[in-house]
Each structure stands twice: as C-alpha cells, then as structure tokens.
Structure 1
C-alpha cells in the first residue's frame, strides 16, 4: 500500500487526509503547537517536529514513505523548506496542496510588517488576525488593538501593552458574528495575512460591508516546484506518479 506523509495543520489538510486515507496509507503530521485534528480512524496522526530537514529525511526513509504532500499554511515557510530539503535527501517527490491567493481590490497589500505598521493612521482601531506566532512587530503600535488568535501569543520576553487586548477563539466564524465584533470595538482597520482559499474569509466580507480598511500581508513566494490546487488534481497526480494500485 502506498505510504503518504501529509504535512498538515489546516482545514484543507484535514479534508485531504480524510479523502486520501480511503485509498492510501496516510500519515498526517502536525506541529507540536497545533491541536490534534479530528480525523477518521483510518488516518494515522503524529504530532511534534522531526528535528529539522535531516530528522525528517530519516523519518521518510525509515517509514518507507513514497511521497510527501505539503498542506501547511502558506506562511509556514520554514516547514516547507525543510520538507523540500528532506525529500531531496530521501529521494522522494514532494508536492504542495496550495491555496489560491485572495483577490480583493479594496485591500492594501504589504510585503513586510514594517511597511504595514508605518502605513497605519494614528487614530486607527485595529483588529489583528495574523495568529499568535508573529505579533512582536505590532507590540510597538500605540493604537488600540484587538488581537484575535487561537492559542496565546509568543511574546519572546516582550511585555504586552495595556492597549493590546488578546481575544482567544477558534474558527469558523460566521458573518453576523464578525460584523458584531467589528462594530463592538469600533474597528477601523483589519490586519490579516493573505491566507487565500476558494472562499473569502468572513472577516474580509464583514470588513468590506462595514467599510473597514483591509491591510493585508502578502504571502511569501512558494518554494515548491509542483503546486496543485484541489483534491482532484492531487489524485490525478498520485495515480500517474506512483503507477501502482492505491490499495
């Protein structure tokens, strides 16, 4: 049976694992900081790091993995780069289950956090939705901030300013709830990442309806040579690449 290592941690990855697991032996891997996914019993799930590219390469070899699918977040560059290096060392193919970037004409796009923070007006009331891993560049802002994230932030020893309020919650969020949140805190600026996907995030729809400015961090360029954008494309690729019966 074909063994696939699926690097996950996203909703898209969970759906892919559930689908491919019906035909292939799928090992679903998440980072140690990510909450365990609810997957069918036929999908094996492992958590924690591999010890960098070399550790992952050893795992690929010892587990006789045939192919690796990177379905991590578009901003998880370090994971993707390590995976590419590891697969090269192990002599197996790797593909990315990619998301299409969002196309929002009204959004202000920035390539760095510094560019974004410098462009914010002094009277902005901010909803920050970039997660808890990379909020350090925003701690120096003096504007009132509601920072929404799933897990408590990594502050790397920096104090949390009094005007910086953490809101812990887990998606999905419906449109009415997003509108209510933005109205409650009189939000004028939404800060987010271009996570992308087939559907527009409800926070973006809510911001557009309320006339809130959208400040978006552009995603880094994918390091992968092979990007596939839906489950059908991935199945076709697997059938051609592996040249074996899936079960």
Structure 2
C-alpha cells in the first residue's frame, strides 16, 4: 500500500494518479473538507486524524506501507520533517512531490521575508489596510500586531468552519473576512483588493496552483506593497515536481 500525505490539490491529484495505476492507497488529510474532496474508490483508505511522530509510525506499520509520498503543502515543513524521520526509522522509501515556485518579478514594492513574524512586522510598517492571503495559519500573529500598531487587516480564508472560528477567536469582524475557495483570476484579485481598499498584500509563494502568480500581477497592477513569505528550504531525500517521476519511484518498491 502507498501512503500519500495529502491535504492539497497536488495530493488529491497524486491519489487519483496512483489509483488509476491500480495501487492501493492510504491518503492522509486533516479536515473533513479535504476528506470529502478525495475520490470514492475501493482501493482508497482515508486517514483523517492528525499524525504526530508516534501515530504516524504506528499507522505506517499497521497498514504495511511500502512507499511514502509526501504531497503536503510547501509550507507544512514540520510534517515533512516528521515523515522523513519516521521513514528512515522504518526503512520506508520516501519521495517528496512539490509544486514549482512562482518566479519573483522585479518590482520595487515587493519585499521577500523568511518568517510570518517578519511578514507581519513589515506589513504593519508599509500600510494601513493589509490584505492577508495567507489563510488562517498564524492569523493570530497578524491580528495581535494589527491591534498593537492600530492597523486594519482583511483575512482571506477557506470557507470552512475551522477557519471562520479562528477568525472569530482573533477578533476579526465578519466584514473583514473574505471566505472563498481559491485560486483566483487576476481580475478577481484586483476586484477584491480594490473593494477592501488594500494598500499591502501579504502572501506565500505557493506556486501557480496556489494562485501566487495572479495575486502578484493583480497587486502590481494596482501599485500595492507586496510582502512574500519565502518558501522554506528543506533538504528532501528525494524531490520531484512531476507525477510520472512519482509513479516511476513507486513502481520500484510496490509491485
């Protein structure tokens, strides 16, 4: 059986790709929404519980996993580090599938930072109305800093109960929540930025599939300040950006 650490569109695509090749697959997701998006297939088992190191180890052993495919979000570095460590201990072949980064254009109002903390601090210095496209992760940090510096933040998050609960916990007013499923076209991003009177946009480099390119071009056309949290750098044991490469790797170990 192949284990796919999913939770992204990439992960769902890989699950479908492997199922079409008649592999038995276990897909791991962390939300009911992610679970609902996976295909219904007799060869698919879904794990919808969060897996820490010990739970992951037990799961892989109990299900006799032959290959581990890591297709988690590019910024979910802790999951990837745990997966590589567990696979090393259990001698399970590991491969990382990751979407390509979006090239960063030359633009004098674009600022590249390494952490959420840097992004929040800088965004508060650059403008008054800060449009966050980073989802609900670390929203508490931006909310805290916005109160500290008396700035206005708009949070674009998934239309999921968990995301909206985080917004409420952070004290973000419903009028400052854009709860929609991306990615979005350039024109829709422009409309949202204008509607919210944004003068700063904060984003991650989640690749074209994550909508980074159209977020960028929309902000540049409007002359907005842009803060990009750079993608974390990890020394993956085996890294690819291609489904067929994953298929070739899997075929070596799962007959």
TM-score category (smaller protein): 0.7 to 0.9
Structure 2 CA distance for aligned equivalents of residues 163 and 154 of structure 1: 12
* Cα pair distance change 1:77/1:210, threshold 3 Å: same
- Distance across 2 between alignment mates of 1:12 and 1:189: 29
Structure 2 counterparts to residues 228-243 of structure 1, below 5 A: 228-239=240-251, 241-242=252-253
Structure 1 residues 213 and 163, CA gap change in structure 2 (3 angstroms): farther
Structure (1/2) with the larger helix percentage? 2
Contact in 2 for aligned 1:9/1:73 (Cα 8 Å): yes
Comparing 204-213 with 194-203, greater Cα deviation is found at 194-203
Please, what TM-score do these two structures have when normalized by structure 1? 0.86
Q: Which runs of 5+ in 1 are unaligned?
A: none
Structure 2 CA distance for partners of 1:175 and 1:54, relative to 1, 3 Å: same
1:6-26 Cα shifts (integer Å, max 9, x gaps):
000001111111111112111
Are residue 148 (structure 1) and residue 147 (structure 2) matched? Answer: no
Paired position in structure 1 for 2:113: 110
- Structure 2's unaligned 5+ residue stretches are none
Q: Secondary structure at the match of 1:69?
A: strand
1:128-139 alignment runs, 5 A limit:
128-139=132-143
Q: Is the 8 A contact 1:132 1:153 kept in 2?
A: no
**Moved >6 Å (runs of 4+):** none
Pick one of 225, 236, 244 that aligns with 1:213.
225
Change (3 A) 1:30 1:196: same
**Kindly tell me: are residues 32 and 180 of structure 1, through their superposed partners in 2, closer, same or farther at Cα, counting changes over 3 Å?**
closer
Please name the residue that 1:62 is paired with: 62
Q: How many residues align?
A: 239
Alignment RMSD (CA, Å): 2.4
Partner of 1:43: 44
1:140-199 per-residue CA deviation (whole Å, 9 max, x = no partner) reads 2222211111122537x9652669922222123233222111111121111011222467
Tell me, in whole angstroms, the C-alpha distance in 2 between the residues paired with 1:138 and 1:33.
26
TM-score normalised over the length of structure 2 = 0.84
Q: Distance in 1 between matches of 2:120 and 2:47?
A: 37
1:200 CA displacement: 4.5
Q: How far apart are the structure 2 equivalents of 1:153 and 1:73? A: 21
**Change in 2 beyond 3 A, CA 1:98/1:119:** same
DSSP-derived class of the 1:21 partner:
helix
- 2 CA distance for matches of 1:61 and 1:109? 41
Q: Taking structure 1 as reference, are residues 54 and 162 closer, same or farther at Cα in structure 2, changes over 3 Å only?
A: closer
Query: Is residue 26–residue 44 contact of structure 2 (8 Å, CA) maintained in 1?
Result: yes
Kindly state the Cα deviation for residue 237 of structure 1 after the two structures are TM-superposed: 2.0
Contact 1:145 / 1:164 at 8 angstroms: preserved in 2? no
SS of 2:74's equivalent in the other structure is: coil
Q: Is the 8 A contact 2:139 2:170 kept in 1?
A: no
- Quick one: structure 1 residues 209 and 134, their matched pair in 2 at CA, closer, same or farther if it must change by over 3 Å? same
